Structure 1
Amino acid sequence: MAKSMTKHPVSSADTLKQAWQDLRADHPHMRIRDAAATLGVSEAELLATDCGNRVTRLREHWPALLGAVGTLGPVMALTRNAFAVHEKTGLYEDICPCGDMLLISGHHIELYLSTGVWHSGFAVMEETHLGPRHSLQFFDTGGEAVHKIYLTEYSDAGLYRRLVDIFRADDQSPNLELPTEGTKSALDALASSQDLPEHWRRLLLVHTTEAVLAGRIATPALRELMRQLAELLLPIQVLVGNPGAMQLHDGPIQNLKITGPWFNVLDQGFNLHLNEMAVAGADIVQLTYQQRDLTGLLVRDQNQQTILTIVGQFDEADGENVLWRDLLKALPVIGPG
């Protein structure tokens, strides 16, 4: 795998493209994210080397471009960080500015996109064993992927081709220059916004100093909690984010599967992949919201960064789902965090 290889930083686009071709010849199933890490460059820089071939650089008109995605029909939205991948299939229907952010909602889709840190976007065609796969891929100022949109069998391919033509950038060179400034956290920016819808406000509050740490659970207890949630079909909210995007699943989970280090939720319309090897523990946090108790679970990595967030269903009249709270209280706590 890529993590066992030595990194070889590569400079020019032509040299980088050749190095990637050589790497794929030796490792045909290697993902581009792992290939970029092996070659010592960002995923965006590696992808850009194929501009003019299977990759088309897009103009940086993010609100208009994302608005046009709503015409494509059902698509698969993918948001990830280093250790979790969140995939939802649905419609990009309503786009609403919220400060420097974009709130996107639709049938089975809930997104908050911090497009202020987006730097580049591409239309990508990949050859797979099922045939060509088309996607729109967006990257931050560090060249890290923040959000990807994949066509499904129900998407309108003709309208997709028209979208790519409309938003095609004049510059299709294989070189990609990245800025030197850092990327701002979407969570930090959103926490101070006065325009947040209530369900997003609740989700973000569990990440603030208003939330009190009640205890930490280990990975086996997290697995057991997910099993119980699936068995009960208890509605929950599952959030995965990175500095440029946050993606939400709102509903129950059902089909669980463990594959190597990955804990997976494999439901129709929703997939979650969590690398358990990276999980240091999960923090149970509590706070008061609108004079009612609110309890969240923050899955942390070895650096205490949040990989994913889980909260229970919240009703404006009745407050938090009592069964969700009781399930958390019954978990074996290993320490204060």
Structure 2
Amino acid sequence: MRPASHLAAYEKLVEDLRLDDQSQDFIADPGAPANDDVTDDSVDTAELRDRWSKLTDTHQFPGMLRKLKVGRRRALHSIGDDFAWRLDTASVETMMRSAAETALPIMCFVGNRGVIQIHSGPVVKIGTMGPWLNVMDETFHLHLRTDHITELWAVRKPTADGHVTSVEGLDAKGEMIIQFFGKRKEGSSERAEWRSLAEGLPRLKTVVAA
């Protein structure tokens, strides 16, 4: 609770949602492994690209992957760089600092099997401590272990309002750690400032042995 919070509304929420059984005996089901165990040869790239290109809403994306039985990481590697390309993992800090410097409102998604937390708006106070990238704003705190980001991607997804661009961080298992979009309203096109920022982030350098 904060000084400006509505205490009565909070107390009603607690009353409405309280579970009668308040015992501390809780056993969590093990999480399902990332569906990323297919081989390169088992991805039907043509079908993936066809379905991807026909998306009309970003919320259709997980369902598309489930239907194709393809993990997110495998899909990103297979789709082609007109839809997704690898970024240098340090680009996540570059993006956050650039958004703060320009007061660009962004959306930040962090989730697990049980809940997704979303920040929508500007970020201001960006700082680092060891591997942690931190946002320490009055109404938004983020503590991101950048060393756990194994792959960072810029991703284009078609929508009915034109394509939108996300920046997505995956861990070593191919599971999503964090996802960023430019803030936009449903029915509106993507902010040009966000698209320019995302498309201009440093890409992963490929070293070719002689």
Q: TM-score range by the shorter chain?
A: 0.5 to 0.7
CA–CA separation in structure 1 for the residues paired with 2:137 and 2:180 = 17
One of 256, 264, 277 as aligned partner of 2:134: 264
| Equivalenced residues, count | 168
> CA 1:224 to 1:160, structure 2 compared with 1: closer, same or farther past 3 Å?
same
Q: 2:200 is matched with which residue?
A: 330
Moved more, 326-335 or 231-240: 326-335
CA–CA separation in structure 1 for the residues paired with 2:31 and 2:174 = 19
CA–CA separation in structure 2 for the residues paired with 1:307 and 1:287 = 19
> CA 1:152 to 1:322, structure 2 compared with 1: closer, same or farther past 3 Å?
same
Per the TM alignment, residue 169 of structure 1 is displaced from its structure 2 partner at its CA by: 3.6
TM-score w.r.t. structure 2 length?
Answer: 0.65
> CA 1:235 to 1:163, structure 2 compared with 1: closer, same or farther past 3 Å?
closer
Report the secondary structure of 2:193's partner residue. Answer: helix
Q: 2:27 is matched with which residue?
A: 178
One of 93, 99, 107 as aligned partner of 1:229: 99
CA–CA separation in structure 1 for the residues paired with 2:187 and 2:26 = 51
> CA 1:287 to 1:294, structure 2 compared with 1: closer, same or farther past 3 Å?
same
CA–CA separation in structure 2 for the residues paired with 1:243 and 1:314 = 25
- Give the letter for the 1:328 counterpart: A
Once the two structures are superposed, what CA deviation does each residue of 1:108-147 show, in whole Å capped at 9, x if it has no partner? xxxxxxxxxxxxxxxxxxxxxxxxxxxxxxxxxxxxxxxx
Matches within 5 A, 1:13-24: none
- Give the letter for the 1:152 counterpart: R
Q: 2:2 is matched with which residue?
A: 152
Q: Which structure has more strand as a fraction of its residues?
A: 1
> CA 1:169 to 1:222, structure 2 compared with 1: closer, same or farther past 3 Å?
same
Q: Is 1:287–2:161 an aligned residue pair?
A: no
Per the TM alignment, residue 333 of structure 1 is displaced from its structure 2 partner at its CA by: 1.2
Report if the CA contact (8 A) 1:285-1:296 is conserved. Answer: yes
Once the two structures are superposed, what CA deviation does each residue of 1:304-332 show, in whole Å capped at 9, x if it has no partner? 21111101133556511112111122122
Once the two structures are superposed, what CA deviation does each residue of 1:37-64 show, in whole Å capped at 9, x if it has no partner? xxxxxxxxxxxxxxxxxxxxxxxxxxxx
One of 104, 110, 116 as aligned partner of 1:240: 110
CA–CA separation in structure 1 for the residues paired with 2:200 and 2:131 = 26
Report if the CA contact (8 A) 2:104-2:122 is conserved. Answer: yes
Q: 2:59 is matched with which residue?
A: 204
> CA 1:313 to 1:267, structure 2 compared with 1: closer, same or farther past 3 Å?
same
Q: Who wins on radius of gyration, i.e. which is larger?
A: 1
CA–CA separation in structure 2 for the residues paired with 1:170 and 1:317 = 43
Q: 1:251 is matched with which residue?
A: 121
Report if the CA contact (8 A) 2:57-2:160 is conserved. Answer: no
Report if the CA contact (8 A) 2:161-2:188 is conserved. Answer: no
Report if the CA contact (8 A) 1:286-1:293 is conserved. Answer: yes
CA–CA separation in structure 2 for the residues paired with 1:292 and 1:310 = 17
Report if the CA contact (8 A) 1:206-1:296 is conserved. Answer: no
Per the TM alignment, residue 279 of structure 1 is displaced from its structure 2 partner at its CA by: 1.2
Report if the CA contact (8 A) 1:206-1:286 is conserved. Answer: no
- Give the letter for the 2:176 counterpart: T
Runs (5+) with no aligned partner, structure 2: 34-55, 66-74
Report the secondary structure of 2:119's partner residue. Answer: strand
Per the TM alignment, residue 154 of structure 1 is displaced from its structure 2 partner at its CA by: 4.5
- Give the letter for the 1:230 counterpart: A
CA–CA separation in structure 2 for the residues paired with 1:240 and 1:316 = 20
Identity %: 26
- Give the letter for the 2:59 counterpart: L
Q: Is 1:304–2:174 an aligned residue pair?
A: yes
Q: 1:68 is matched with which residue?
A: none
CA–CA separation in structure 2 for the residues paired with 1:330 and 1:274 = 22
Report if the CA contact (8 A) 1:217-1:331 is conserved. Answer: yes
Report if the CA contact (8 A) 1:206-1:285 is conserved. Answer: no
